[in-house]
Chain A
């Protein structure tokens, strides 16, 4: 319990630091969105209009510390400001919808890659030198060394465009309205296959190799030998004794990976025009939409922190040795 409290304290501190950085960094840049609009319009707007826009965007000439506390207050109330590129939609609305799609794509790809990769790694190490062990790692490393967006492009071109097996863009068919109907969920899954698969194929090799190698060193541990001497069924030795211990380092990696889900598949979202955070971020950067960028960055930092926290707690559950530390 004490351990959990201490971890929570650490994460609260980290969150505060990232919020503060997120506030100050853009303000250290010269100019502001108002100037940007002014520049784009090449002076063809009245200063009053700019002032009105500034007000609408939440920019003010108050001292920095005052702005900082206003910002903190706004965050507490869940107000991220208004998206300039989609005026006057609040940033939170844009993030809310795109967050879901990024999470769906990232989680699906990461979990599938983690499961398949580790399972292949376990089997490869268990039957060392067997078929799985000799074919899989080199093949997957080969595939994994391609840039993920290039594989995504290939997949889109052949399986989407040439052969027409999968849809070309978006997260669901435009002729179905979102609901929990079987039809809609099916359409979402169908649209998810290609983008997720292109990510899985790239990520899987690392898991296989990592798991295989830790598993091989775990297999020569005395406790695995003892488990075998106990006459336990193979499956139990393989999973409860060997894999259970070999999984621990990979689980940390998985947690780190979870944090990067929100920002990690940006180009995949662009290739498949998948309406996630990455796609939105691209738009925000193109339009100098600071509030939206800030909002997305903040969400990404928070998800990294959140994922790490979850992993920390899970680790406590899985590795009793951490509990006392």
Chain B
């Protein structure tokens, strides 16, 4: 996606708040026999200190790929082909293996989607916390264990469970344990990739409130990834909406909910029922996302878009339509390229 250079400086960042991490024009491809799948295609956003950034989109839109690219834990055949991930002024994508291993977990930790699968089944919870600590800090085993017990208490697990194996814990406890591991080094940023998806609603609620409490107490930033927009309402400061490998809209959480600009965001909103208020008819979005081996030339949502018109055959700019509210859609003059304007005039 093209970046509107004239507005990229503002990016909605209030004066004085330097971003904690900045992702610039990130592109990730999965090499396949049919050709490269452009899973992430020019994603730009930042996260400020203490902020909760929500990243939402349907399955396969590339949101988890963004998360894994930040920590550079993508597995082949995925390759990062372009972009920068700036943390503290250092580009993570340029780091040597040693630098990378130091950076991981100390600066950015991650809570994975399925707690059952993200814990090593043959190691105790305690060992999985202490090995993260000891990989980064010289600390005697005794002290690391004390720290592990403390972490378990923080997330609401009895310290006695430190010698438990993952299969001895319930689903909710496992996800808490994973969060405890993520907190081990007190990182300024935590990526949470669908942390509650595999849990039932009650446990989901508990985990979400634990996350909010910890964020209040410890003040870390969160990149919260989910396909469930309703989860983001409560927790996020800003929300980015991803579609087919690109961010199509980014705004304050409140504003995005009250006045979504992109037709795709609109469609997402009407795909789930509001918890309170009147009954509404759920409409959903007809069609399915485009093939990312051969993405359409113009706007990627055009084929499914109820408000498609002439300029949509060219790519919209991701530009600020309102202060702090960026969108990539030709409905808004800021997003139109000269080519798009031409198309509108011709008609």
- Looking at the complex, which one of A220, A232, A240, A324 makes contact with B132 (CB distance below 8 Å)? A232
Min CB gap B75→A, angstroms: 6
Nearest residue, chain B, Cβ from A245: B122
Query: Does the CB pair B73–A225 fall under 8 Å?
Result: yes
Query: Does the CB pair A230–B113 fall under 8 Å?
Result: no
Query: Does the CB pair A231–B104 fall under 8 Å?
Result: yes
- Looking at the complex, which one of A221, A226, A233, A245 makes contact with B135 (CB distance below 8 Å)? A233
Residues of B within 8 A of A40 (CB): none
Q: Which residues of A contact B (CB under 8 A)?
A: 128, 219-223, 225-233, 236, 240-241, 244-245, 248, 318-321, 324
Nearest residue, chain B, Cβ from A129: B76
Secondary structure type dominating chain A contacts: helix
Nearest residue, chain A, Cβ from B134: A232
Q: How many angstroms between the C-alpha atoms of A320 and B168 in the bound complex?
A: 9
A226-B122 contact, Cβ under 8 Å, with A231-B102, A231-B103, A232-B131: no
Secondary structure type dominating chain B contacts: mixed
How many B residues face the partner with a CB closer than 8 A? 33
Min CB gap A219→B, angstroms: 8
A321-B120 contact, Cβ under 8 Å, with A220-B75, A230-B135, A236-B131: no
Residues of B within 8 A of A236 (CB): 131, 135
Q: How many angstroms between the C-alpha atoms of A226 and B167 in the bound complex?
A: 17
A225-B112 contact, Cβ under 8 Å, with A220-B75, A240-B123, A320-B167: yes
Query: Does the CB pair B132–A230 fall under 8 Å?
Result: yes
Min CB gap B269→A, angstroms: 30
Query: Does the CB pair A230–B105 fall under 8 Å?
Result: yes
Query: Does the CB pair B131–A230 fall under 8 Å?
Result: yes
Query: Does the CB pair B181–A230 fall under 8 Å?
Result: yes
Nearest residue, chain B, Cβ from A128: B76
Residues 94-126 (chain B) with a chain A CB within 8 angstroms: 100-106, 109-110, 112-114, 117-123
Residues of A within 8 A of B120 (CB): 223, 227, 240-241, 244-245
Query: Does the CB pair A229–B71 fall under 8 Å?
Result: yes
A227, A229, A245, A324 — most chain B CB neighbours (10 Å): A229
Q: How many angstroms between the C-alpha atoms of A230 and B110 in the bound complex?
A: 8
Query: Does the CB pair A222–B113 fall under 8 Å?
Result: yes
Given A226-B112, A230-B109, A236-B135, 10 additional A-B pairs, CB 8 A: A219-B75, A223-B119, A229-B71, A229-B73, A229-B109, A230-B104, A233-B135, A244-B122, A319-B121, A321-B165
